[in-house]
Amino acid sequence: MSPKILVKGRTCPFSSFFSFSAVRILAKSPTFARYRRKLQFEDDINLIFMYTSYNRLGKNADEADAEEIIDMASKASFTDQQMQVQENVHFQIKNFCTVMDEILLPGSAVPLTRPIKRAELSLRLKDSIGYSLDVKPSQIPHNEASQGLYLNGEANVGAVIAIYPGVIYSPSYYQYIPGYPRVDARNRYLITRYDGIVIDAQPWGYGGETREIWDSSTMQDTRPDTDETMLGKALENSQVGCNGEILERRNPLALAHFANHSTEETVPNVMVCPYDFPLTEKNLRTYIPNISFGNAEEQKVRRLGSSWFRGGSRNSRLDDSDSDGPVLKTLVLVAAKALCDEEVLLQRPLWYYSVDEDED
């Protein structure tokens, strides 16, 4: 049924109230565009809330659980849904990091990791969690598709299947993004969160074969398909840069930037989800494939509290007593359906936008 509005005591179809030219004006309005992005972002969080909540209940979840989660989603505020999504994603990230430690660390007395190649690590991860990732030619019939991201194995709906790696830029550091102001003219590995945080995955490339300190001094050697002087020009005469971090460059899930967008003939099977990694979790930091440019990581959020799921009170609200802490604002890909040996395809959400749009 078409939406209707009340005009002078009578209802009229919404579409007949505005002329075609008026609709075109609205569509071009920055305010209207931001409103559409906001609505889409809230809808996406609502879906991710349900997907990740169902996933967290485990393989024994049934239809009754699904119905309860849907009911929770209809009653919870948007803020509570955001917080629960963060907790659900962080729960999976912690499990992933635990598995990685079990594979790579031979014992607490030995500080070095096992000399395992990235390919072998990916296979061992699949044995533990049921899936890993491959990068190979995409099946998308588009000239710019080239490489694509493939899930090797099986993943349930709501599973975190990939992390978007790279350098994080807050809006105050946009001018340092290589190629600024037309930053995406020569870089297709940029993505923007709803809050304006930009992640440049191009320096990460395919990752590496070691656990190493990764900072701005090593970026030019790992940045594929670009003019290496771009970064140098951005940093020239600048006192700001990236803080070096010891990162696991063999991370099998740090490949989200190779996922292609779906086409009219294909259906997206993952959703882009903001994830704020709490930097107080120092034992997990090496598996988060991001570094911040400048002080981007010093933004604060309220830490997560009690869960609504098994093991606690489902009806309890998140604990407000936890203190604020610094976070690293990144993105993950969440399965929107059960996946099995298939190409990972995402639908660019309306809340995604290019940095260039804000420069016009």
Three-state helix/strand/coil letters over 329-357? EEEEEEECCCEEEEECEECCCCCCCCHHH
Task: Examine residue 289 and state whether it is found in any structural domain, yes or no.
Answer: yes
Assess whether pLDDT exceeds 60 at residue 212.
Answer: yes
Between residues 201 and 297, which one has the greater pLDDT? 201
Contact criterion met (CB below 8 Å) for 148 and 139 = yes
Residue 215 binned pLDDT confidence (cut-offs 50, 70, 90): confident
Asked whether residue 332 carries a pLDDT value surpassing 50, the answer given is: yes
- Is residue 72 a part of any domain in this protein? no
Kindly tell me if the per-residue pLDDT of 289 is higher than 70.
Answer: yes
Contacts of residue 203, defined as CB under 8 A and 6 or more positions apart, other chains included, come to 166, 167, 219, 222, 223, 231
Dihedral class, residue 81 (left if φ above 0, else alpha if ψ from -120 to 50, else beta): alpha
Q: Is residue 227 part of a domain?
A: no
User: Percent of the chain scored above 70 by pLDDT?
Assistant: 68
pLDDT on residue 324: 67
Q: Look at the chain and report how many structural domains it folds into.
A: 1
Tokens read off for 158: 């709501």
Crossing angle for the helix pair 30-56 and 78-104, to the nearest 10 degrees: 50
**With bands split at pLDDT 50, 70 and 90, how would you rate the model's confidence at 347?**
confident
Tell me if 234 is assigned to some domain. no
**CATH code of 101's domain:** 2.170.270.10
Among the residues of the chain, which ranges form H helices?
Answer: 14-17, 20-28, 30-56, 63-75, 78-104, 118-129, 216-222, 229-235
Q: How much is the pLDDT for 224?
A: 44
- 189: in domain: yes
CB atoms within 10 A of CB 27: 10
Which residue, 100, 88, 99, 60, is CA-closest to 160?
A: 88
The string of pLDDT tens digits covering residues 128-149 is 999 999 999 998 876 666 889 9
pLDDT of residue 25: 60
Q: Please name every residue paired with 340 in a beta bridge, in sequence order, or none if there are none.
A: 154
Give yes or no for residue 153 having a pLDDT over 50: yes
Give 273's DSSP letter. E
Whether 287 shows a pLDDT value over 50: the answer reads yes
- The sign one gets for the Cα dihedral 130, 134, 138, 144 is positive
Is 27 inside any structural domain? no
Q: Identify which has the larger pLDDT, 57 or 320.
A: 57
Question: What SS3 class is residue 26?
Answer: helix
Q: Find the domain containing 119 and state its range.
A: 97-219+241-298+326-346
pLDDT-derived band at 321 (thresholds 50, 70, 90) equals very low
Residue 10 pLDDT level (bands cut at 50, 70, 90): very low
- Domain-embedded: residue 335: yes
Nearest alpha-carbon partner for 133 in 345, 343, 336, 290? 343
Strand, coil or helix: 118: helix
Model confidence at 30: pLDDT above 70: no
199, part of any domain:
yes
Whose tokens are 């078409």? That residue is 2
Q: Under a CB-based contact definition with an 8 Å cutoff, are residues 99 and 123 in contact?
A: no
Residues ≥6 apart with Cβ < 8 Å to 48: 85, 158, 271, 273, 334
Q: Is the pLDDT of residue 356 over 80?
A: no
